[in-house]
Chain A
Amino acid sequence: MTAIYALYGDADAALRAVDGLRAAGLHDGDITVVSAEPLEHHPLGERDRATWMFWIASGGGAIGLAVAVWLTRMTELAWPLPTGNMPIVSWWANLIIMFELTMLGAILATVITLIITAGLPARRSLYDPEIVNGRILVGVERPASQSVPQIERALLAGGGRVKTV
């Protein structure tokens, strides 16, 4: 057996199952919850909220800014040709490139962080196609054989039909 799970029709039932699994001694990290929509409004959706994404995006923006400063200054000094009576290193004009590359850096850093922290692309593990029809999956992957009866009881207490894969 690689996983044991049950599907629930609503978030409250799924939460009861999760509470049952916790009572059986499982940690949140061992319990898999999968839904077809974010459960922002529900205690079930409170898991794994903490993220450094905003700070990483800011870091990406700082890198973009540094690249822009280097690129504009280096290229203007490489061939120091006066243009339109502007200084060779024209900060007013360069500010535009610096702004764009800062934002590009922040956007790319955000997407890269999302991909890495959300575990994408991933090989599908515990999943059931019925989830797309509004069911919520609660289960445990690779459970220890001695804890299977307890897990089954917890999942049944939530009102779900237990499946094993």
Chain B
Amino acid sequence: MNEAAARRLNDDLLRPLVETSWRFWVLVLLLGSVVVTGLATWLYQMYRGFGLTGINMPVYWAFYVTNFVFWIGISHAGTLISAILRLVNAGWRRPVTRCAEVITVFALMIGALFPIIHLGRPWLFFWLIPYPSERQIWPNFRSPLVWDFFAITTYLTGSVLFLLLPMIPDFALVRDRSTGRRNRIYGALALGWRGTPKQWHRLESAMQIMAIAIIPVAVSVHTIVSFDFSMAPVPMWHSTIFGPYFVAGAIFSGIAALILAMAALRTFLHLEAYLHPLHFENLGKLLLMMSLLWAYFIFNERLTVWYGNATAEREALWSTQKGPFAPLFWTMVACNFVVPFVILSVKKLRTIGGCVLASFAVVVGMWLERFLIIVPSLSHKYLSYTWGSYRPRPVEIIITTATFAAMGLLYVLFSKLVPIISIWELKAGEHYVADATPRTAAAHPLLPPPRGSRVGDPGLRTHP
């Protein structure tokens, strides 16, 4: 990459780190206040007990477990998608990967919080950790809840490292472009990185191996989350399809979350030159494919239950098709299938705005899907005298809202402290595209042209 292009790239992508507008502080204050309200509400729930929530016999899992499954699903946005795109060497992934990997880490952290929020005595959560107590009693490794602990711990560890490793060269870049305290902090984070061929090879080899390892881990995580349900003899839960059904749903909601995050970054950080309509179009196609896959799974699930016609399952099914949960069910179908299918299957509608609209619908629809998996089944178990209902109470709604604000807050703070687009990968991508296939480079520019020139001029991106 020539010097002018490198300087321009550095300036553009480091600008959010060095310039802070009043809008940033307003956003942090707004999101922070919602998060603090959520934390205060959680403390109040701990003090007063679970009677404050709508959770009651027979529905003991409701909003909190819905949120747990939803956020773990959202976490599939990043590391899994990034790993797949890395392995297939998709050039267009380069500006997208870090935006995606960050979602994974924060969504996993938030998702993993919900089983703790759901505990009556959350300060005893460490009982899940496999260590021998004073009576040499260990956790029961045959319990799906312990499987969750191992799966989430592995995925979180892998995802954090998968995010951190490619950040080292960018930390070194910030180190070299800064002075004073910032220089010292980023210098420590850069671990003395220089950029010798050996270091680059080792980093890329490590990323390849981790990409190979992280894909089955990501699939296992949501499969194991599905086991929390499918291992239980509850109507419509005890199903062999739950593993792949949950994984498909997770990737589906993950892609939608990624599109929303990218659109927000593009607008607020003025990254229009890096996050192109092409990126949204490609992700939109993936979203469309996952929407069709989701429809296929839900048809399979519903048809099997309807055809089997077992009494308890039939009641749970009809409560969602034409009973009290029907409005939520049909809203979910509209959000997860009708809206994305109509928007994303028409090329003219597959714009940034169209992708954002479809993604927003999918995020809403997937939250509803998680809710509809849990509550109708628990409301209609095998003995009809135990049937009941559930209505969320304010504490659950406030805590749920606070987690969305927490996601936004963590994302905003991260993009303030770390280049949200991997600068070195973008530079390397220019070489890859420009040298390997000049025609492709011309068609799909990874880098912006110099200011004042037309977007898409291939002559401005070739290797000097």
Contact in complex: A84, B201 (CB < 8 Å): no
List the A side residues contacting B214 at CB < 8 Å: 107
A156 to chain B, nearest CB (A): 19
Name A107's contact: one of B201, B210, B220 (CB within 8 Å): B210
A52 to chain B, nearest CB (A): 10
**Roughly how many angstroms separate A39 CA and B204 CA in the complex, as a whole number?**
11
List the A side residues contacting B435 at CB < 8 Å: 41
Q: Which of B133-141, B289-297, B325-333, B367-375 has 4 or more CB atoms under 8 Å from chain A?
A: B133-141
**Roughly how many angstroms separate A99 CA and B158 CA in the complex, as a whole number?**
14
Decide yes or no: A57 and B427 within 8 Å by CB, A93-B141, A97-B147 being known contacts.
no
Chain A residues with a Cβ closer than 8 Å to the other chain, count: 67
Contact in complex: A45, B200 (CB < 8 Å): yes
List the A side residues contacting B259 at CB < 8 Å: none
Decide yes or no: A96 and B177 within 8 Å by CB, A47-B198, A121-B192 being known contacts.
no
Contact in complex: B3, A135 (CB < 8 Å): yes
List the B side residues contacting A41 at CB < 8 Å: 431-432, 435-436
A25 to chain B, nearest CB (A): 21
List the B side residues contacting A93 at CB < 8 Å: 141-142, 147
B146 to chain A, nearest CB (A): 8
List the B side residues contacting A149 at CB < 8 Å: none
Decide yes or no: A120 and B1 within 8 Å by CB, A48-B198, A75-B138, A103-B158 being known contacts.
no
B30 within 8 A of A: no
Contact in complex: B204, A133 (CB < 8 Å): no
B463 within 8 A of A: yes
**Roughly how many angstroms separate A156 CA and B146 CA in the complex, as a whole number?**
64
Within 8 A of B (CB), among A46-60: 46-49, 51, 53-54, 57
Within 8 A of A (CB), among B205-260: 205-206, 209-210, 213-214, 216-217, 220, 224, 227
A151 within 8 A of B: no
Closest Cβ neighbor of B227 among chain A residues: A96
Contact in complex: A39, B463 (CB < 8 Å): no
Contact in complex: B142, A36 (CB < 8 Å): no
B191 within 8 A of A: yes
Contact in complex: A96, B151 (CB < 8 Å): yes
Contact in complex: B213, A110 (CB < 8 Å): yes
Within 8 A of A (CB), among B1-41: 1-3, 5-7, 10
Contact in complex: A111, B224 (CB < 8 Å): no
B199 within 8 A of A: yes
Count of CB-CB pairs between chains A and B under 8 Å:
203
Closest Cβ neighbor of A35 among chain B residues: B195
A64 to chain B, nearest CB (A): 9
Contact in complex: A51, B427 (CB < 8 Å): no
Contact in complex: B151, A100 (CB < 8 Å): yes
Name A124's contact: one of B168, B192, B202, B224 (CB within 8 Å): B192
**Roughly how many angstroms separate A44 CA and B463 CA in the complex, as a whole number?**
15
**Roughly how many angstroms separate A99 CA and B3 CA in the complex, as a whole number?**
47
Binary flags per residue of B146-157, CB closer than 8 Å to A gives 1, else 0: 110011011001
**Roughly how many angstroms separate A117 CA and B137 CA in the complex, as a whole number?**
41
Contact in complex: B197, A39 (CB < 8 Å): yes
Contact in complex: B192, A120 (CB < 8 Å): yes
List the A side residues contacting B172 at CB < 8 Å: 132
Closest Cβ neighbor of B14 among chain A residues: A132
Decide yes or no: A36 and B464 within 8 Å by CB, A107-B210, A134-B3 being known contacts.
no
* 15 A–B contacts from the bound complex (CB under 8 Å): A9-B2, A35-B195, A36-B427, A38-B203, A40-B432, A48-B196, A100-B151, A100-B154, A103-B158, A104-B153, A104-B158, A122-B191, A122-B192, A133-B7, A134-B1
Q: 16 new A-B pairs (CB below 8 Å) besides A9-B2, A51-B201, A132-B6? A: A10-B2, A39-B197, A45-B200, A51-B205, A53-B205, A71-B130, A100-B150, A101-B150, A103-B216, A104-B158, A108-B157, A113-B206, A114-B202, A119-B199, A133-B3, A134-B2
- 4 A-B pairs with the lowest CB-CB distances in the bound complex, closest first: A134-B6, A122-B192, A48-B198, A75-B138
